[in-house]
Structure formats: C-alpha cells, structure tokens
A and B are shown apart, each in its own frame.
Chain A
Amino acid sequence: MSLTVRIRKQLGAFQLQADFTAENEALALLGASGCGKSVTLRCIAGILRPDEGVIQLDGQTLYDSAAHIDLPPQKRQVGYLFQQYALFPNMTVRQNIAVAVRDKSRREAVTREKLRQFRLEEVAGQKPRQLSGGQQQRAALARILASSPRAILLDEPFSALDSYLKYQLELELQDTLAQFPGTVLWVTHDRGEAWRSCRRVCVMDRGVTEPVMTMDELFRQPGTQSAARLSGCKNYVPVLPAGQSVDVPAWGITLNCGREVPAGTQVIGIRSHHIHPAEAGETNAFSCAVERVIDDVFGMIVLLRSQSAAPDAPLLRMELPKETWAAQPDQTRVTVAATPEDILLLK
C-alpha cells in the first residue's frame, strides 16, 4: 500500500517536478505557499493533468504518460479535503454525505454511521453555511470517508480556522486518520502541524520536491537551505569548509562543527534558540555587539553583530528566556556560542 508520484507539469513560468513515494502513513508535504503543493494534490486526484510522469496508488496506475493511462477522478478513489471544504451549499449535511456513497444499497446505513461517528447527527438536516467551521470540516471528512477512498489528500486542513479551534480539530483529525488504513498526504506550510501529525516529510521548494526524510531529520540535518527555512531556522551565513570546522568570512570567525564538514557545504544555519550567552571556555564563543532587542511574548529576541563582521554581514538572531537576558551584566555587548552539533550544514 503506497502512493508513488513522479510527475512534471508546466504552468506558465512555473514548473512542477514532484517525485516521492508515500507508504502506508501520513506524509507531510511541506512548502511555502505558492510552491506547488496544491497543484501536486490536484494532479494526484485527477483534477489536473500533468505533462508527463507516473502516479501509482496501491499498485494501480492512475496516470502514466508513456502508457497513455489517465484515470478520471471518479475512478481514482482518492479523497480530497479542500481548503474551504467544498461542501455542496444546496444540500443538507446528510445529503452531502449520502452522495459520496457509491453503493446504493448501503447508502443509508453508511450515511447514518458517518453522521454518528463525526457527531453530526444534530446538524444532519442543516445546510453547510449554518455550520461552524469545525462542523464543516467534520462534515467534509465524513463525506470523504463515506466514499471509501484508498488515499486521502489534505490541503492545508486548518487554513480556514482560527488558532484555538485549530488546536482542537488537530487532535480530532489525528484520531480520525489513525484509523484510516491507507496513505494520507498532508499538505501544510506549518512545521509544527507537520511535526505533530506526521512521521515523515517531503519538502517542496519552488515546485521541486526534495527526498523524503523523517521529521527528526528535517530538524536535525535538513540538508538544504529551503528545508532548513521550512523547519523554522532563521540564521544563515555563507561558509568555507575546513576539515571539522567552517570559516565564516562574513562574521570573521571559525566555527567548530564537531564532525567532518562535507565538501559541498556552502551555508550554515543556526536556530535562534541554539545561540546562547557563552560560558567561560566554551567552544565557538565569539563576541558580538547588540544591535537591537525585541521584547517577544514569551522571551526576548536579540539581534547581534559579530565583532569582526563585515559591514554588510547578516545579523545574528538569538532567542532566549526573559530571565536569562535580564541576568546579562552588559546588554550592549555579549559573548555568545553555538554548540558544534547545533550547526546545520547546508547546500
């Protein structure tokens, strides 16, 4: 049971090149908005036709440009949760679910079952616009599952909801999907959402997918700058590899990475909360001038300039608890460090 996607599609100046395989799992498709995630989902569902390539689901070919196979969406059995849910506004919740049941003899039973399972019995006779955002999402999910899909595609499932509701529904959605036996492809731009709900992730950058990795790898060694950026890393600086260290010309320092630096390394990334005030004798300590201090909700953001930095060098962003910052004796000049293992080596 798996979903294999290897397609290319040209849309104006934008080129999509998606290449990944999702096993029987929830795979996150992580990318900035406009990077082609939705286009990929639409190609898989059969709503959009790729220019070339192959799409296979559970061993069946849904699309193959070389063999001239292109199943219509009706025959693909792929459930698609649209951003705005796409519930039919002219039908009640019950009718919305019933139309998804292909087998007429089981239509009533399945509909009743889904209404109960998704706690929609009370609103079964209402139209979608009368429902709350959360109920709409449940109705859309109930409808998808009533169509007995082999795979489910989620397109930014929480984009239409406010953050408190989002948290509630995320738990529900996890429970629902945990019982689903097939592949789930979860499109999001939110690394937290991906981390909480998926084990593995496929990063997409400007239309091109990167190799699938575990969520853990994404945070520990993302490999590329685009993946690091999607994982939330905010400090980047060009470097020159030097054995187990890297030279950072822009900051006028050398940083120990604690491991052999691959020859192709061009940039390093350091997460803001991995920069900390240095203890006496710590490796990778360097002195910085404080350029700006921003009071954040639960902590402080401090923008630093390395003492020996070039004038146009990027500033270094440090995030730390309010107490730690308050305890600093000098708030205009601070010596900071980054643990060797926390330095991300990127291409």
Chain B
Amino acid sequence: MDWYPLYNSLRIAAISTVAVFMLGIFAAYYIAKLPRLAKGVLDVVLTLPLVLPPTVVGWLLLCLLGPKRPLGAWVLEAFGIKLVMTWWSAIFATVVVAFPLMYRTARGAFESFDHTLAEAAQTLGRSNTWIFWRVQMPVCRQGILAGTVLAFARALGEYGATSMIAGYTPGRTATISTTVYQLWRTNDDAGALRWVLVNIAISAVFLLAVNLLESRERQSRRKGAAS
C-alpha cells in the first residue's frame, strides 16, 4: 500500500494548523478590540468560509491564484512558480477553510478574558507583550487549544476546495480524502475502505487525545479547588 496520501494529508494539515494558529490568534486579538460595527463586518467576512460550500471557496481561490489570474500570473512571471496543482497548493484551501474555527474559538476565549488582569499587570509595570504571552494566552489556553484541534481536524478532512486547487495526482497531490474519492470512482471498494479506516483511526486517536487533555485539565483544577 502506498502511504503517500497519509503523509501528504498530515503535512498539509500540520502546516496549515500552524499558519491558522498564528493568523487566527492575531485576528481574534485585534478584532476583539475594534468598535462594534467594524467587528460585525469583519466577523462576517472571516467566518464566511465556514458556511460556504468548499467548492465555492475553491472556485474563489482559483480566481485569485490560477496561472492566468492576477496573483497567480504575477507569481508565475516573477518567481516562475505555479501556485496551483502542487502538493502545497492544498494549504491555501485548508488555511481558508480552517481559519474561521480557530478565529472564532480564540475570539470567544479573548472576549471572556477578564481585562482587569491585563490592567493590573499594566499598573505593575509589565509591557503589553509580556501580558499577552504570560497572562492572556495561559488564561485563555483552553479555548485556544480547542480552536487548534478543530482547525487541524478540519484541515485533515478538507476535500472540496483541495481537489479543485491541488487536483488528484497519485504520489504528488493525493490526500486521504481525494484518494478515497478516486478509489471509489474507479470501483476499488477494498482500497477505499482501507483509507476510510485509516482516516477514522486518525480522527478517533485525535479526539481521544483531546478528551484526555481536557480531563487532565479538569482534574488539576479540581485538585486545586480542594486543597
């Protein structure tokens, strides 16, 4: 069995999770501070990929990144790089689709953050950078962790936009989800089943790990409250 789709899916999900983690937290941090109207508008725009069909996202991405489209043509001309139909093209799709999950959960965590903690730290002479990394992030850790997990899971399961922007080339752009579709299409039910089981196994392990983390968190909290 060729394990390339597993490797490719994992690396795409991992890279896009790192990107989404940073972008989502950055957006959540600054948008939470904006006035109501701007916040409402940006919120809609940034959450849209969550509710749009992935094919619509894929089409829009192709409009931007395709070799004959403005950005795609410019990159091709300036650097000689084609932005679509490579293994890393899928990262564009997974980042856009997974971003709202990270952004929304992180924003929820930041909004429930008690700002007197930040204010207290300021009066004690601590910089805003210090406050962000040493107080706000640790206090909001659970929400941020939840957002990261959701983003990774979503990136791993992405099919629609990925298939449009990266296509399906065995050994090059194939991911688990596009492989399953391809095997089913070619009547290879046994092959499809193998990949379905692999996917279910990864997802189950993943969710198990999350539950474990959460219960450990709760335990340490309970221990804290008891003593």
What is the distance, in angstroms, from A226's C-beta to the closest C-beta of chain B?
28
What is the distance, in angstroms, from A267's C-beta to the closest C-beta of chain B?
39
Are B225 and A47 in contact, with the CB atoms below 8 A?
A: no
Are A90 and B139 in contact, with the CB atoms below 8 A?
A: yes
Contacts of B227 in A (CB 8 A): 126, 130
Contacts of B44 in A (CB 8 A): none
Q: How distant is the Cα of A45 from the Cα of B120 in the complex, in angstroms?
A: 10
Contacts of B117 in A (CB 8 A): 86, 88-89
State the main secondary structure of chain A at its contact with B.
loop
Does A195 have its Cβ within 8 Å of any Cβ on chain B? no
Are B116 and A82 in contact, with the CB atoms below 8 A?
A: yes
Q: Which of B135-175 contact A (CB under 8 A)?
A: 135, 138-139, 141
Are B224 and A147 in contact, with the CB atoms below 8 A?
A: no
Binary contact readout A267-278 vs B (1 if CB under 8 angstroms, 0 otherwise): 000000000000
Contacts of B119 in A (CB 8 A): 42, 45, 47, 73, 80, 82, 86
Are B123 and A88 in contact, with the CB atoms below 8 A?
A: no
Are A90 and B135 in contact, with the CB atoms below 8 A?
A: yes
Binary contact readout A76-96 vs B (1 if CB under 8 angstroms, 0 otherwise): 111110101010111000000
Q: How distant is the Cα of A293 from the Cα of B113 in the complex, in angstroms?
A: 50
Contacts of B121 in A (CB 8 A): 88, 99
Q: How distant is the Cα of A42 from the Cα of B116 in the complex, in angstroms?
A: 11
What is the distance, in angstroms, from A131's C-beta to the closest C-beta of chain B?
10
If A90-B138, A129-B224 touch, does A82 touch B120 (CB 8 Å cutoff)?
Answer: yes
Q: How distant is the Cα of A86 from the Cα of B124 in the complex, in angstroms?
A: 12
Q: Smallest CB-CB separation from B225: which chain A residue?
A: A129
Are A99 and B124 in contact, with the CB atoms below 8 A?
A: yes
Contacts of A73 in B (CB 8 A): 119, 122-123
Are B126 and A99 in contact, with the CB atoms below 8 A?
A: yes
Are A100 and B116 in contact, with the CB atoms below 8 A?
A: no
Q: Which residues of B contact A (CB under 8 A)?
A: 114, 116-117, 119-127, 134-135, 138-139, 141, 224-225, 227
